[in-house]
Amino acid sequence: QKEVEQNSGPLSVPEGAIASLNCTYSDRGSQSFFWYRQYSGKSPELIMSIYSNGDKEDGRFTAQLNKASQYVSLLIRDSQPSDSATYLCAVTPEGNNRLAFGKGNQVVVIP
Amino acid sequence: GAVVSQHPSRVICKSGTSVKIECRSLDFQATTMFWYRQFPKKSLMLMATSNEGSKATYEQGVEKDKFLINHASLTLSTLTVTSAHPEDSSFYICSAIRAGTYNEQFFGPGTRLTVL
């Protein structure tokens, strides 16, 4: 089982709609959870950090964490063409400070 | 915000030469920095973990004598690709953990290395 799984294929959403991304992780002891955005040819940019169960909102982004289900999600509201990128879910395994990344989900926002 | 810089952003070199890449945390201290490599349309691959004042920890399959890492201060880590070959051409990215956070890693803009 992979440490972090992002199984959905490319996601196309119309401008103004909500984009929903999901991620599961295998290490039940994980404590820190992140979403990064990576534009083509650029490095990842941290957009959300979440550490406790529930929702965390920052602007148009909402992260949701459910440790019992080992599940992290990201919602992007009012999607804009500038949101078109690959979104990486990342988790810090227990007793470690490195990041375990999912493969990423490509999001395409259609004007 | 937490800013990480890398220098150079792009380098082209001849096969057999060595290239040094600098990674700096500009507005925070970073006890731990990481070096990644990313090939086109592939996932990030962690190469090594760099702790200030100690030897780097390399991931399996990464040659420590080829990829020399020095983390001399709380704001600077360097990666030297020794005797570079065309297969070393890649996008090298560093990241740094901001002290006082729960392992929030901030990435530098990356260095694109092309070995001819």
Residue type, B43: S
Closest among B35, B10, B38, B112 to A38, alpha carbons compared: B38
A interface with B, Cβ–Cβ < 8 A, is: 31-32, 34, 36, 41-46, 49, 51, 88, 90, 92, 97-99, 101, 103-104
First to last CA, chain A: 37
Tokens of B23: 């990674």
Residue-level pLDDT at A97:
87
- pLDDT at B90 (0 to 100): 97
Q: Give the tokens for residue B30.
A: 């970073």
Percent of chain B whose pLDDT exceeds 70: 99
Q: Which of B12, B27, B23 has its CA nearest to residue B93? A: B23
State both tokens at A75.
């919602």
pLDDT at B37 over 80: yes
Q: Residues A36-65: what's their mean pLDDT?
A: 97
CB contact under 8 A, A44 and B44: yes
The region of weakest confidence among B19-23, B35-39, B45-49, B96-100 is: B96-100
Cβ atoms of B40 and B61 closer than 8 Å: no
Classify the phi-psi angles of A86: left when phi > 0, otherwise alpha if psi is within -120 to 50, otherwise beta: beta
Q: Confidence band (pLDDT; 50, 70, 90) for A93? A: confident
Residues of B at the A interface, defined by Cβ within 8 angstroms: 32, 34, 43-44, 46, 49, 91, 93, 97, 101-110
| Strand A71-76 to A61-66 pairing | antiparallel
Cβ-based neighbours of B63, under 8 Å, separated by 6 or more: none
Is the pLDDT at B13 greater than 90? The verdict is yes
Average pLDDT, chain B: 93
- Chain A environment of B32 (Cβ under 8 Å): 97
Q: Are the Cβ atoms of A43 and B32 closer than 8 angstroms?
A: no
Average pLDDT for residues A63-70, to the nearest whole number? 97
Nearest CA to A79 out of A1, A11, A2, A23 is that of: A11
Q: What is the mean pLDDT of residues B90-106?
A: 91
Mean pLDDT of the B11-20 span:
97
The distance in angstroms from the start CA to the end CA of chain B is: 37
Cβ–Cβ gap B46/A51 under 8 Å: no
What local confidence, expressed as pLDDT, does residue B80 receive?
97
Half-sphere exposure of B95 (CA within 13 A, CB side): 23
Nearest neighbour of A43 by CB, restricted to B43, B46, B108: B108
pLDDT at position B48 over 80: yes
Tens of pLDDT, residue by residue over B56-87, are 999 999 999 999 999 888 899 999 999 999 99
Residue A95 has pLDDT above 90, yes or no: no
Q: Are A36 and A87 in contact (CB under 8 A)?
A: yes
Are A34 and B109 an interchain contact pair (Cβ–Cβ within 8 Å)? no
| pLDDT for B41 | 87
pLDDT exceeds 90 at position A23: yes
Chains A and B form CB pairs within 8 A to the count of 47
Average confidence (pLDDT) over B33-44 = 94
Pairing mode, if any, of strands B90-97 and A45-50? unpaired
What does the DSSP assignment read for B70-85?
EEEETTEEEEEE-S--
Does pLDDT of A1 surpass 80? no
Question: Amino acid identity, residue B101?
Answer: T
The CA distances from residue B81 to A33, A73, A88, B90, B111, in Å, are 31, 37, 27, 11, 12
Q: Per DSSP, what are the bridge partners of residue B115?
A: B13
Instruction: Tell whether the model's pLDDT for residue B110 goes beyond 90.
Output: yes
